[in-house]
Structure 1
Amino acid sequence: MIPLHDINPARRPALVVRSLVVLNVAAFLLELLLGPTQVVAKMGFVPALFFQDPLGEGYRILTSMFLHGGLFHLLSNMWFLWVFGDNVEDRMGGERFLLFYLLGGVAAALAQALFMPASTVPMIGASGAVSAVLGAYYVLFPRAYVITLVWFVLPFTLALPAGFYLGYWAFLQLVQGLLGVPGIAFWAHLGGFVFGVAAVRAFLPRRWRW
């Protein structure tokens, strides 16, 4: 299932979301220019290295958030950020949203490291931080509808409640993480999502808290 857009438009331009998309695209182009293998080796997050030298290797947590393994990896992350991020930024405000996004990425990377502490494979991508945004959306807009493209023999669209869509998405991350499906940092996705659900209220202006 792929979200096409949400039926809950933000009231103000999502300047931070747009800036993050531009920054991720620029980082991807720079990555291609400098050589993806070299850039990922120097700036991807490696759990085993982090636990050996947290202070010396900690910078990789932040740099890895802006690297991607290919065009589809980049586009899928930016699309989820674009669809769900504007409303969350609208509720939080730009500065709070940016801090929330970055801390969500940190929480996601640490979650992956805790579940796979001996891994020497560099972890890259914005998906952990974006997952935190999805967790925030799950709390803030569970009854908003998401137009979703579904494949079942032939593609068709459905309007699904965000609470159902995102809950199902989180469940899939858990199942695939438990099954040990290789190639994707499912624990980072789930860690980011849990951070988003747990922390979203702390980042809201007082008028939106409950």
Structure 2
Amino acid sequence: MFALTPVVRALLLINVLVYFVTNEQIIEQFGLHSFLSDLFNPTQFLTHMFLHGGFMHLLSNMIGLIVFGPMLERTWGPKRFTFFYLFCGIGAALLFSGVNYYEMIDVYEAVRDYRAEPTPEKFLGFFTTQASSLYDQVAGFIEQYEQQPNNPRFVEGSLQIINRYYLNQVDQPMVGASGAIFGVIMGFGLLFPNTELFLLFPPIPIKAKYLVIFYGAYELYSGVYRAQADNIAHFAHIGGMLFAFILIKYWGSQRKTFY
């Protein structure tokens, strides 16, 4: 059905094989963690691209690879396509990590301040400003803590709750080839803008350039306004597209024109 090129075939096999040997320990070690996490390792900028959190996550990314990747590899050749794929994936991870750091630094500072001086007032303030969605879950504890502010049991309990919340945030790894795949989609749209693609939902034809515009606009909107619970790394998708655009424009500027 698809005429797979060598690098696309290799990437497909690697991702599928890694998926079947992946467990929680592998994701924890090789998934991309926050800069603020003790589990962060620079090699995760590369390794996270070959891990996936579920079959549908893997399937959607690999469909994107086999649909859009071969034409790019035929156009550029295996070496340049491989570089492009990895460049987009790592660039996506860098943008995601930067945004994550920006979003989490206030939480980090609030946790640090609370650890230095734990009081019922600061505990209440933390869950009204930094973790308001969880306030109802700790409301009963807060009431007891306020009644016994110097009780070591409540002080220690509050520290455990704060630390657990913080670690759940910064130790949650990001995995998947989505950043690289969105880079591939952007590359396809830039090189073959008027190629018509037939969508499944809705079942209509659409030119590649319009598909790229739609994807980019949707991911930007979702990244800025999304609910935190959707668990999708929208800024990784945006990063993949952005770094693809930059690299392709740079390659284009290096061409020699002869008259």
Structure 2 CA distance for aligned equivalents of residues 45 and 66 of structure 1: 11
Residue identity over aligned pairs, in percent, reads 33
Q: Which residue of 1 aligns with 2:192?
A: 141
What is the aligned partner in structure 2 of residue 22 from structure 1? Answer: 13
CA distance in 2, matches of 1:130, 1:203: 19
C-alpha separation in 1, matches of 2:45 and 2:35: 13
TM-score, with normalisation over the residues of structure 2? Answer: 0.67
Secondary structure at 1:74's aligned position in 2?
helix
Select which of 43, 58, 66 maps to 1:74: 58
- What amino acid sits opposite 1:145 in the alignment? E
1:90 to 65, 70, 74: 74
Q: Work out the CA distance in 2 between the residues paired with 1:62 and 1:25.
A: 16
Q: Which residue of 1 aligns with 2:41?
A: 57
Q: Give the helix-richer structure, 1 or 2.
A: 2
Report the CA distance between 1:18 and its aligned residue.
1.1
- Report the AA paired with residue 231 of structure 2: G
Shift of 1:180: 3.1
For residue 26 of structure 1, report the CA deviation from its aligned partner: 0.6
- Structure 2 CA distance for aligned equivalents of residues 88 and 170 of structure 1: 19
Q: Distance in 2 between matches of 1:122 and 1:15?
A: 30
Which deviates more, 115-124 or 162-171? 115-124
Alignment of 1:128-167 (within 5 A): 128-151=179-202, 157-167=203-213
Mapping 1:1-12, distance limit 5 Å = none
Q: Measure the CA separation in 1 of the matches of 2:208 and 2:188.
A: 8
Contact 1:64 / 1:125 at 8 angstroms: preserved in 2?
yes
| Residues 16, 89 of structure 1: 8 Å contact kept | yes
Match of 1:114 in 2: 98
Q: Give, as a single letter, the amino acid of the residue that structure 2 aligns with 1:17.
A: V
* Conserved 8 A contact 1:28-1:67: yes
1:177-188 correspondence to structure 2 within 5 Å: 177-181=223-227, 182-188=230-236
SS in structure 2 of the partner of residue 129 of structure 1: helix
Deviation, 1:197, is: 1.4
Higher alpha-carbon Rg: 2
Q: Which residue does 1:195 correspond to in 2?
A: 243
SS of corresponding position for 2:204: strand
Number of residue-to-residue matches in the alignment? 187
The C-alpha deviation readout for 1:125-147, integer Å capped at 9, x for no partner, is 00011111111112101100111
Q: Which has the higher strand share?
A: 1
- Matched position secondary structure for 2:200: strand
Q: Give 5+ residue unaligned stretches, structure 2.
A: 105-168
Q: Relative to 1, partners in 2 of residues 1:206 and 1:15: Cα closer, same or farther, differing over 3 Å?
A: farther
Any conservation in 2 of the 1:100–1:203 contact (CA below 8 Å)?
Answer: no
- The offset of 1:195, in angstroms, is 0.8
Give, as a single letter, the amino acid of the residue that structure 1 aligns with 2:184. V
Is the CA contact (8 Å cut-off) linking 1:49 and 1:57 kept in structure 2?
no
For residues 122 and 38 of structure 1, the distance between their equivalents in structure 2, rounded to whole angstroms, comes to: 11
Q: Output the CA distance in 2 between the equivalents of 1:179 and 1:89.
A: 35
CA drift at 1:48 = 2.6
Q: What stretches of structure 1 of length at least 5 have no aligned partner?
A: 152-156
